[in-house]
C-alpha cells in the first residue's frame, strides 16, 4: 500500500506534470472570467517562445495567432462562453521569435451552478506532425497528377475482408464508380476477360504460394463501356506474422495502346522482312541468271581472239581486251552480289567459339599475311557467343583482309583485335595502320559497291564492308568506323550476348 501511495503522490507533483508537458509538447492554460486573469503553464510560454516571467493576458495570447486563426479562435471562445460547449481547433501562430507554428487548441468551460466562471484549455505544438501531413498531401497530389497524366492506377486489397479500394485513375480505367467503395473481390474478377481469367487466377495463386510479387499482362472489360482493355499489373502481397496473406498493394497500367502499337510494329517488321527476303531472292536469281550470258561473252571473246590471232590486228586486240576486262568486272560484281544475297540464308544459330573462328581466319590468311610482311594480333581471351559461325568468320575475315590490303607504301600492315565485355554486348575493335578513310566518306563506306577515293588503286569489288554490315545487323548488333587519313582505321563491332 505504501508503494501505491507514494506513486499517487508522485502523480500529483509539479515535476510529473512538467515532464508530461515536455514529452507531449503540450501546455495548459486557464482563464478566470471573474478576475480576467490568465495562467499559463511553463510549456505554453515555450510554445510562444516567451520568457516564463512575462506577464500574460487573454489579449496578448490571442495576438500571436495569424489573422485567420484569430477569427476562428475568438469565435470559438465566444460560442463556448455562450453555449457552454468545448472547442478543438487546429490553428497557426507566429511566436515571439517570429517562428510560424501549427498548434492544436482545446478549450472547456467550468461552471459554478449555471454560470461559467473559468475557461480551461490546452495548447499543443503540432508543427512537425502537420509538416509531415502536408508533405504526404503534396506527394499524394503529385501521385494523383502523375496518374491522371499517365495510364497508371493503384489499388489496395484487404484479403481478410475480401474487399478492395482504388485510386480515381484506376476506377476510370476500368469503369468503376469510386463512390461505391469498397468493392468486392468478385466485382474485380468479373471484369477479367473470360479467355484470360483462368490463367490470371492461376498465376496469382502461384505468386501467393511462392510469396512472390505478381506480374501479369491480360485483358479486362470496362464495366461501363464494355471495351476490351489490355492491362499490365504489378502487385505486392503483405503477410501477417504467421505467413498468411492479408493485403495486396499494386498498380495496373492501361497498356491497350502499347499492345496495339506493338502489334502494328510486329506486322510492319514481318512485312519488311518478307520484302527484304523477296528482294534478296530476286537479287540472287537475277545475279545467277546473269552469270551465264556474261560467261558466254567472255568465252566468245576468247574464240574471237583465237580466230584473229594469225592476222595480228592490234587495234582489234585492244578492243577485245576492253570487252574482256569489262566482262571480268561484271562477273566479279555478280559473284559478290550473289555472295551478299546468300548471307542470311540457311543460317545455323548456336554457340560460336570466337577464339576458334579467329584462329581459322588467321590460318586462311596465312599466305596473305606473309606476302604483305604483315602482322595480326589476336587477344588471348575471346568469348563464346550466339550467332552463325560462317557469317562471323566472313565478318572478321573481311575486316582483317582490308587491314592487310589497304596498307601504306613502305610500311608493313599491322592489324590488332581488341575485346571487352560491355554490359549485354561483346565489343570488338579491329584496328589497322593503313591508309585510312576520308571523313566525308565514313557514312557511306558500308554501302554496296562503295569504295573510298583513296583506295581506288587497289583491286576489289567494294562490297566487303556491305557484307560486314549485313552480318552485324543479322546478329542484332552495331558496327561503326573511326578513321584518320594516313593513320589507319578502327572498326567497332557490338554483338549482343544473345540474339
The answer to whether 33 and 126 are in contact (CB under 8 A) is no
What pLDDT is stored for residue 333 in this prediction? 65
User: Are residues 7 and 123 both part of a single domain?
Assistant: yes
User: Are residues 336 and 390 both part of a single domain?
Assistant: no
User: Are residues 409 and 375 both part of a single domain?
Assistant: yes
Which residues does 16 contact at the CB level (< 8 Å), separation at least 6?
10
User: Are residues 434 and 464 both part of a single domain?
Assistant: yes
Collapse the DSSP code of 325 into the 3-class scheme (helix H, G, I; strand E, B; otherwise coil) and give the result.
helix
User: Are residues 94 and 169 both part of a single domain?
Assistant: no
The number of C-alpha atoms within 13 Å of 4 and in the hemisphere containing its C-beta is 1
User: Are residues 78 and 45 both part of a single domain?
Assistant: yes
Q: Residue 42 is part of which domain span?
A: 2-131
The CATH number assigned to the domain holding 163 equals: 3.30.450.20
DSSP state of 163: E
The CATH number assigned to the domain holding 402 equals: 3.30.565.10
The answer to whether 158 and 247 are in contact (CB under 8 A) is yes
pLDDT tens for the 499 residues of the chain, in order: 444 444 555 445 565 556 666 666 788 889 888 888 888 888 899 999 998 888 777 888 889 999 999 999 999 999 999 999 999 999 999 999 999 999 999 999 999 888 999 999 999 998 888 888 788 777 766 665 655 555 678 788 888 898 888 888 888 888 898 888 888 888 888 889 999 999 998 988 888 888 888 888 999 999 999 999 998 888 898 988 888 889 988 888 888 888 888 888 888 888 877 777 766 666 666 655 666 666 777 777 778 777 777 766 777 778 777 777 777 766 666 666 666 667 777 788 899 999 999 999 999 899 889 988 999 999 999 999 999 998 999 999 999 999 998 888 888 999 999 999 987 899 999 999 988 888 888 888 888 766 665 555 556 566 788 889 999 999 999 999 999 888 899 999 999 987 6
Residue 141: inside a domain: no
For 193-207, give the DSSP string. Answer: -HHHHHHHHHHHHHH
Residue 119 CA to residue 264 CA, distance in Å, equals 75
What pLDDT is stored for residue 11 in this prediction? 47
Collapse the DSSP code of 303 into the 3-class scheme (helix H, G, I; strand E, B; otherwise coil) and give the result.
helix
User: Are residues 126 and 21 both part of a single domain?
Assistant: yes
User: Are residues 378 and 463 both part of a single domain?
Assistant: yes
Per the structure, the count of domains in the chain is: 4
For 70-112, give the DSSP string. Answer: HHHHHHHHHHHHHH---EEEEEEEE-TTS-EEEEEEEEEEEEE
Other residues' Cβ atoms within 10 Å of the Cβ of residue 38 = 19
What pLDDT is stored for residue 433 in this prediction? 93
The answer to whether 34 and 90 are in contact (CB under 8 A) is no
Residue 21: inside a domain: yes
Helical residues (DSSP H) of 192-313, grouped into ranges? 194-210, 256-308
Residue 144: inside a domain: no
Residue 465: inside a domain: yes
User: Are residues 11 and 108 both part of a single domain?
Assistant: yes
Residue with cell 575493335: 429
Residue 137: inside a domain: no
The number of C-alpha atoms within 13 Å of 471 and in the hemisphere containing its C-beta is 24
Cα angle 221-223-228, degrees, rounded to a multiple of 5: 20
Residue 85: inside a domain: yes
Cα angle 345-329-372, degrees, rounded to a multiple of 5: 85
User: Are residues 285 and 424 both part of a single domain?
Assistant: no
Last residue of a domain, one of 195, 230, 254: 254
- Residue in 355, 460, 457 with CA at minimum distance from that of residue 402: 460
Last residue of a domain, one of 292, 307, 342: 342
Last residue of a domain, one of 254, 276, 300: 254
Residue 441: inside a domain: yes
User: Are residues 483 and 372 both part of a single domain?
Assistant: yes
Residue 140: inside a domain: no
User: Are residues 366 and 485 both part of a single domain?
Assistant: yes
Amino acid at each position: 500500500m505504501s508503494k501505491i501511495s507514494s506513486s499517487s503522490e508522485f502523480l500529483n507533483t509539479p515535476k510529473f506534470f512538467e515532464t508530461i508537458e515536455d514529452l507531449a509538447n503540450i501546455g495548459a492554460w486557464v482563464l478566470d472570467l471573474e478576475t480576467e486573469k490568465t495562467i499559463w503553464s511553463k510549456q505554453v510560454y515555450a510554445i510562444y517562445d516567451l520568457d516564463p516571467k512575462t506577464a500574460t493576458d487573454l489579449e496578448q495570447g490571442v495576438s500571436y495567432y495569424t489573422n485567420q486563426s484569430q477569427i476562428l479562435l475568438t469565435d470559438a471562445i465566444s460560442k463556448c462562453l455562450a453555449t457552454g460547449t468545448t472547442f478543438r481547433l487546429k490553428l497557426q501562430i507566429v511566436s515571439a521569435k517570429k517562428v510560424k507554428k501549427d498548434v492544436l487548441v482545446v478549450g472547456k468551460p467550468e461552471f459554478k451552478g449555471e454560470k461559467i466562471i473559468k475557461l480551461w484549455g490546452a495548447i499543443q505544438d503540432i508543427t512537425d506532425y502537420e509538416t509531415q501531413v502536408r508533405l504526404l498531401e503534396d506527394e499524394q497530389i503529385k501521385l494523383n497528377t502523375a496518374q491522371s497524366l499517365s495510364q497508371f492506377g493503384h489499388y489496395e486489397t484487404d484479403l481478410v475482408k475480401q474487399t478492395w479500394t482504388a485510386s480515381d485513375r484506376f476506377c476510370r480505367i476500368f469503369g468503376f464508380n469510386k463512390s461505391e467503395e469498397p468493392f468486392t473481390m468478385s466485382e474485380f474478377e468479373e471484369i477479367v476477360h473470360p479467355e484470360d481469367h483462368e490463367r490470371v487466377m492461376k498465376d496469382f495463386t502461384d505468386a501467393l504460394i511462392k510469396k512472390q510479387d505478381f506480374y501479369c499482362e491480360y485483358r479486362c472489360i470496362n464495366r461501363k463501356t464494355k471495351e476490351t482493355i489490355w492491362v499490365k499489373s504489378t502487385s505486392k502481397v503483405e503477410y501477417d506474422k504467421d505467413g498468411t496473406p492479408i493485403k495486396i498493394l499494386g498498380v495496373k497500367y492501361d497498356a491497350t495502346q502499347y499492345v496495339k502499337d506493338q502489334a502494328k510494329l510486329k506486322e510492319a517488321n514481318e512485312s519488311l522482312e518478307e520484302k527484304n527476303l523477296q528482294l534478296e531472292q530476286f537479287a540472287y536469281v537475277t545475279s545467277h541468271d546473269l552469270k551465264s550470258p556474261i560467261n558466254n561473252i567472255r568465252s566468245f571473246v576468247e574464240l574471237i581472239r583465237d580466230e584473229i590471232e594469225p592476222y595480228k590486228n592490234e587495234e582489234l586486240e585492244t578492243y577485245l581486251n576492253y570487252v574482256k576486262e569489262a566482262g571480268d568486272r561484271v562477273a566479279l560484281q555478280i559473284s559478290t552480289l550473289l555472295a551478299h544475297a546468300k548471307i542470311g540464308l540457311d543460317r545455323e544459330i548456336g554457340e560460336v567459339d570466337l577464339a576458334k573462328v579467329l584462329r581459322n581466319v588467321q590460318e586462311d590468311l596465312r599466305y596473305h599475311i606473309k606476302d604483305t610482311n604483315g602482322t595480326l594480333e589476336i587477344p588471348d581471351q575471346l568469348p563464346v557467343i550466339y550467332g552463325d559461325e560462317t557469317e562471323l568468320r566472313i565478318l572478321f575475315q573481311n575486316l582483317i583482309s582490308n587491314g592487310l590490303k589497304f596498307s601504306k607504301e613502305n610500311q608493313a600492315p599491322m592489324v590488332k583485335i581488341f575485346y571487352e565485355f560491355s554490359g549485354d554486348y561483346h565489343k570488338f575493335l579491329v584496328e589497322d595502320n593503313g591508309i585510312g578513310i576520308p571523313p566525308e566518306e565514313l557514312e557511306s563506306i558500308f554501302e554496296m559497291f562503295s569504295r573510298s577515293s583513296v583506295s581506288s588503286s587497289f583491286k576489289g569489288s567494294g562490297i566487303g564492308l556491305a557484307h560486314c554490315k549485313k552480318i552485324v545487323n543479322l546478329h542484332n548488333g552495331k558496327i561503326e568506323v573511326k578513321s584518320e587519313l594516313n593513320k589507319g582505321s578502327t572498326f567497332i563491332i557490338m554483338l549482343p550476348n544473345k540474339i
